Structure 1
Amino acid sequence: MKNKDQYKMQNIRTYVQLGFVFLCLWIGVEFYLFLKYFETGGLTAYFNRPPGVDAFLPISSMMSVYYYTLTGEIHKAHPAGFFIFLGVVSMSFLLGKSFCSWVCPVGFLSECIGDFGDWLQKRVFKWKKFRIRMPRFLDYILRSVKYLLLGFLFYVVFYTMSSFALEMFLDSPYNTISDVKMYYFFADLSRFSLIVITALFVLSIFFKNFWCRYLCPYGALLGITSLLSPVKISRDENKCIDCSLCAKACPSAINVDKVKTVISDECSSCLRCVDSCPVKDALGLKIVPINKKVEKRWTPYIAMAGFLLFTSMGVLTGNWQNDVSIYEYEQLYKIKDSVGHPGNADKIGFGDEKKNEMNEKNPKD
């Protein structure tokens, strides 16, 4: 029997997601106004660069975290990204891949497209009891792609890059204006990029969360760290009536009805399975090591705790806005189209003076 609270948590989650979507849109507008000043050669009003744009530079942010472990310093090019990255990863330690289902705007969009796909297949195609599903063997193969991408990034950053190369990259013009280059990539999509995005959209209609499930390396990282989270979805086998509604509700196709504790790198703690369960306390969150139930109403607070903690630290410690001056941005903006990805330290363009400085910091044995 359905009750009034059955979808309450999903409504709360939607409100949280919408809040972050509007926040991202606001950041986008601020960044547009910031760039407009340089586009017009200073003829329009100057707006400060929104630090939140660093959230869209996860690779640079990951490299900043690595840089911090080597030097004990927060790199000044994109400091907000450093704290946002740590906040996102901490969310997965606290409550699985909750970032993907509670905060990520791409995750929200992917959910909306998947729900549209459900509506399309049921109402338009009249497939009441059938939904196109990825063959299991192909699903396993495709799910490995995001881990291969993550492995490649880890190999490049943590294995091939010396501390010298790392700092040279973070100091490079390419990294400094990577947010600018990212903006113009999406503002002026090439035909190929448009085809790829359209293909992902269509695939997501028929295969839920296609990008998130198969291609997102950020999700792969969070999936790995989420396995260490002590808070899991748990099923009380004595109360379960084997209706399988939880498994049908799961957007990640996890067989929730077949396990006592959900231990999966695909679980995003969206709680759709819990909300679909018709039996009170048959399914819920639990701190597994101490076998303690977590009240569902605490989910949003647990999900957001780590994220808000680290982002607040960035603001309160004065490490939120970067230290790039207007003059530097003006000069870099003029050469933005010619600044390419630095293949190695010798191609970044800082010269021998910078190399000698780095060698003094990190003398060879």
Structure 2
Amino acid sequence: MEKKEKFIRNKEKSIQLIRFIVQTLFALLCIWIGIEFSQFIKFLETNGTAGSGYRPPGVEGFLPISSLMSLYYFLQSGIIHPVHPAGFFIFIAIVGMSLVFRKSFCSWLCPIGFLSELVGDFGDKITRKIFKRRIKIWKYLDYFLRSLKYLLLAFFTFSIFSMSEIALAYFLGGDYNIMSDVKMYYFFANISQTAFIVIGVLFLLSIIYRNFWCRYLCPYGAFLGLLGFLSPTRIKRNTSTCIDCGLCAKACPSFIKVDKVITVNSDECTSCMNCIDACPVENTLELKYIASEKKINKKLVALGVVIIFLAITGLGMITGNWQNKVPKDVYIKLNKNVNSIGHPMSSEDIKKLNEESERKAK
């Protein structure tokens, strides 16, 4: 039987207040961007006589599919497409965060993740009061539902990576992509009864089952979870000092059985460090570099997440690739018929453009 070391109480300060502050500030930034964008919509609707002609580039962070297409276009052509360039840099920043600190965007910056967390905390209080515990979905059903976000990711990835450079340029420069953020605004501003019911159901499910959207349906989170396997950092458990209290597993919002593993390799780990804060024994749960086994200060994660995001998005700003190059009069013109602008490309269109690209390559 393994000899346990002397119990030394963990007196390290929690990182959760700092994480909450970072989440709140980023959520407020997103709200501010939303307010500015609503004024831009008013500008379009009044033909430039009211509202504001300033279109906040940050809104492009809510267009992950377009951003992934821009990234793939850049890899093919070496060109940052002039429509939604801010989305390109925001996407790169989020990828960078995941490559360093796993799926940290989800627990440190994502406004949907922040909202899900608040709803989950509220739901935990209710379920613990009624059922005396957190509600977890049956294990095999959980595996099946978790696969849905990866199926969605596979669909989007296959659709995008089957497109040639010409096809990507055609789509990215088309009316649909130009107005995609405007169409997104109108979707929520004039939400249909069906969409409202779907969102309401997801909200209720998130109260009962913590992080329902993030855990089962978010393809963005699935992508970042896969990237996290390339991260040089992992949460590790020292079995010689662990007292098997199980508090780390109870604290994990992703239901990872931290108390049963030596190294947390799960794709659901978001580097929120709830488990580390919950551990009552010093030097038992720590975030470490895989190669060197060197401990990483929790504050370094907070600082690193913010610096990576600001540095990469700042690069877009200083290189002149932040504001898009679409003239205001084009926006005003397209907005008059925004509801009639549909998706421009069918699978047959993509096939034809790919064939054209192959002919030109020859």
TM-score by length of 1: 0.92
Shift of 1:139: 0.2
TM-aligned CA deviation for residue 303 of structure 1: 2.2
Q: 2:116 matched to 1:110?
A: yes
**Which of 333, 345, 352 does residue 343 from structure 1 map onto?**
345
Q: 1:302 Cα deviation (Å)?
A: 2.1
Q: Per-residue CA shift, 1:43-82, capped at 9, x if unaligned? A: 2143310000000000000000000011110001100000
What does residue 28 of structure 1 align with?
A: 34
Q: CA deviation at 1:278?
A: 0.6
> Which residue of structure 2 aligns with residue 47 of structure 1?
53
**Alpha carbons 1:169, 1:345 under 8 Å: kept:** no
Q: Out of 206, 226, 232, which is 1:204 matched to?
A: 206
Contact 1:27 1:52 in 2 (8 A): yes
Give the letter aligned to residue 197 of structure 1.
I
d(CA) in 1 for partners of 2:79, 2:205: 43
Give the length in aligned residue pairs: 352
Q: State how far apart, in whole Å, the 1-side matches of 2:289 and 2:224 are.
A: 19
- The answer to whether 1:64 aligns with 2:70 is yes
Distance 1:171 1:346, change over 3 A: farther
Aligned-partner Cα distance in 1 for 2:93–2:198: 30
Task: Tell me, yes or no, if structure 1 residue 148 matches structure 2 residue 145.
Answer: no
Q: Which amino acid aligns with 1:136?
A: K
Q: 1:345 to 1:282 in 2, by over 3 A?
A: closer
1:19 aligns with 2:25: yes
Rounded Cα–Cα distance in structure 1 between residues aligned with 2:95 and 2:184: 22
Whether the aligned pair in 1 keeps the contact of 2:148 and 2:216 (CA below 8 Å) is: yes
Which one of the candidate residues 177, 182, 188 is aligned to 2:184? 182
Q: Partner of 2:240 in structure 1?
A: 238
Write out aligned runs for 1:121-136 (5 A): 121-123=127-129, 125=130, 127-128=131-132, 130-136=133-139
Partner residue of 2:3? none
4+ residue runs over 6 A deviation: 1-4, 345-348, 358-362
Structure 1: distance between partners of 2:282 and 2:11: 13
* CA drift at 1:122: 2.9
Match of 2:225 in 1: 223
Write out aligned runs for 1:262-341 (5 A): 262-341=264-343
Q: How does 1:2-13 map to 2 (within 5 A)?
A: 6-7=13-14, 9-13=15-19
Residues 292 and 3 of structure 1: CA distance in aligned 2, closer, same or farther (over 3 Å): closer
2:196 aligns with: 194
Q: How far apart, CA to CA, are the structure 2 residues paired with 1:210 and 1:364? A: 46
Q: Residue 10 of structure 2 contacts residue 283 of structure 2 at CA under 8 Å; is this kept in 1? A: no
Instruction: Give the CA deviation at 1:120.
Output: 1.2
Question: Which residue of 2 is the match for residue 98 of structure 1?
Answer: 104
Taking the aligned partners of 2:180 and 2:305, their CA distance within structure 1 comes to 29
- Within 2, Cα distance between the matches of 1:3 and 1:280? 4
Partner of 1:250: 252
Deviates more, 1:301-310 or 1:47-56: 301-310
Identity of aligned residues (%): 52
In the aligned structure 2, how far is the partner of 1:88 from the partner of 1:67? 18
Structure 2 residue corresponding to 1:169, chosen from 165, 168, 171: 171
What's the TM-score, normalizing by structure 2? 0.93
Residue 131 of structure 1 deviates from its aligned partner by 2.6
Partners of 1:42 and 1:316 in 2: CA distance: 28
Give the whole-Å Cα distance in 2 for the aligned partners of 1:321 and 1:361: 32
User: Could you list the per-position Cα deviations for residues 79-101 of structure 1 after superposition, in whole angstroms to 9, with x for gaps in the alignment?
Assistant: 00000001001111000100000
Maintained 8 Å contact 1:30/1:47: no
Taking the aligned partners of 1:83 and 1:362, their CA distance within structure 2 comes to: 32
Q: Distance in 2 between matches of 1:29 and 1:45?
A: 11
Contact kept? 2:41, 2:51, Cα under 8 Å: no
Q: 1:275 to 1:362 in 2, by over 3 A?
A: farther
Distance in 1 separating the partners of 2:356 and 2:52? 39
Q: Which amino acid aligns with 1:285?
A: L
Q: Which moved further from structure 2: 215-224 or 335-344?
A: 335-344
Aligned residue type for 1:192: T
Q: Distance in 2 between matches of 1:362 and 1:90?
A: 36
The answer to whether the 8 Å contact 1:34/1:47 transfers is: yes
Could you tell me which runs of 5 or more consecutive residues in structure 2 were left unpaired when the two chains were aligned.
1-7
Say whether the 8 Å CA contact 2:10–2:279 is kept in structure 1.
no
1:334 CA displacement: 1.0
Using the TM superposition, give the Cα deviation of residue 119 of structure 1 relative to its aligned residue in structure 2, in angstroms.
1.1
Q: Which amino acid aligns with 1:329?
A: Y
Determine whether 1:363 maps to 2:360: yes
Cα distance in 2, alignment partners of residues 204 and 184 from structure 1: 25
Report deviation, 1:312: 1.0
User: Gaps (5+ residues) in structure 1?
Assistant: 349-354
Q: CA deviation at 1:4?
A: 7.5
Deviates more, 1:38-47 or 1:202-211: 38-47
The AA in structure 2 aligned to 1:248 is K
Deviations 1:276-332 (A, max 9, x none): 001111111000111111112211012233222210110110100000111111111
Give 2:155's aligned amino acid: F
